[in-house]
Amino acid sequence: MPTQTGAPPVEPGFPQNVTAEEIAAGYDLSGKRAVVTGAASGLGRETARVLAARGAEVVLAARDTEAGEKVAARIRDAGGRARVEPLDLGDAASVRAFADRVGRAPIHLLIANAGVMACPEGRTADGFETQFGTNHLGHFALTVRLLPALEQGAPARVVVVSSGGHALGDIDLDDVNFERRGYDPFLAYGQSKTANILFASELDRRFASRGIRAFSINPGAVATRLGRHMSPDVIAEQGWDQFGEIRMQTPAEGAATQVWAAIGRELDGKGGLYLEECHEAHVAGSDQPLNGIQPRALDPDRARRLWEWSERATGLQAS
């Protein structure tokens, strides 16, 4: 089944600065099971809290399980259902173990939220550049391993948290690890975020017919620990200080789009879309209308090639 990239724009008309809690108001998620990566802090923590408050059973995937347990305890104290499972997206063994534990029951919502941004050069446990390996390959491997559980939970949705930062860098499948290019943390971040969009688009194309729909989203500028490498000197070096002070959203506001992508009725029957501020949006480099073919980050041929490259890199075949 083709993606809905060519569908009319989704314009739900939410007010500016709407919160995730406001988006979820009126929804009953009883009987739904959600997995949220990076749920120990920031947008993941708020997303998990809101979904649990509406009745979903939430699995908090966290590298820092101690912090995750504190989040889960607060959710349970408020009457919700939540448990923590350890997950390091930069370690294929950790991803496999997580999927073995969590994928035994149907999953209705998978929120691929965790990520790293503009970090110093490094490698994952499996030898991939840290940002690409964590932000894209880790979530690719996790999703592929959880496909049977998602199919059991169909209709299911996968929400991949990208960023407007995808405009900072394209994907070089011949040098994703910056072995020939000089490492640039923002180019690497942009590469990983472009991959997030392409991944969601191709995931939807391949599995929509089985009841699994996928979206990529841009949460906007949010005050979380993700930007911990963004010192004033780094901001000035990039030339972003010329735009003046940027209003940072709260996590409650920043999580709105991913919660809407996960449960919004306006998105029923749709998929493969790039969303921001709770509506369909243009990807970087696009000068075409939303009902046209999007270049680069939504190009179907590039999405297919990235998927096939990711299968080879992870040794996983999605079927």
Range from 35-39, 114-118, 223-227, 271-275 carrying the lowest mean pLDDT: 223-227
Question: Two tokens at 277?
Answer: 């501020």
The pLDDT tens digits of the residues spanning 146-178 come to 999 999 999 999 999 999 888 898 899 999 999
Length of the chain: 319
Show the CA angle centred on residue 262, arms to residues 256 and 263, nearest 5°.
Answer: 90
* pLDDT of 240 strictly over 60: no
The pLDDT value recorded for residue 10 is: 63
285 vs 49 pLDDT, higher one: 49
At 19, phi and psi to the nearest 5? -100, 165
* pLDDT number for residue 246: 59
56's tokens: 């979903």
Q: Is the pLDDT of residue 19 over 60?
A: yes
Q: What is the pLDDT of residues 36-64, one digit of tens each?
A: 999 999 999 999 999 999 999 999 999 99
| Residue showing tokens 């995808």 | 166
For 24-57, b/e burial (b = at least 16 CB within 10 A) is beebebeebbbbbbbbbbbbbbbbbbbbbbbbbb
> pLDDT band at 9, cuts 50/70/90?
low
249 band by pLDDT with thresholds 50, 70 and 90: confident
Q: Which helix (H) or strand (E) holds 141?
A: helix 139-152
Q: Does residue 213 have a pLDDT over 70? A: yes
For the cut 50, the answer to whether the pLDDT of residue 242 exceeds it is no
Q: Among the options 27, 183, 189, 274, which is catalytic?
A: 189
What's the rounded mean pLDDT across residues 119-146?
Answer: 98
Task: Give the class (CATH, top level) of 20-314.
Answer: alpha beta
Q: Is 189 assigned a catalytic role? A: yes
pLDDT average, residue stretch 258-271: 97
* pLDDT for 288 beyond 70: no
- Whether 11 shows a pLDDT value over 80: the answer reads no
pTM exceeds 0.85: yes
Phi-psi region of 50 (alpha: psi -120 to 50; beta: other; left: phi over 0): alpha
Q: Strand 273-276 and strand 57-62: pairing? A: unpaired
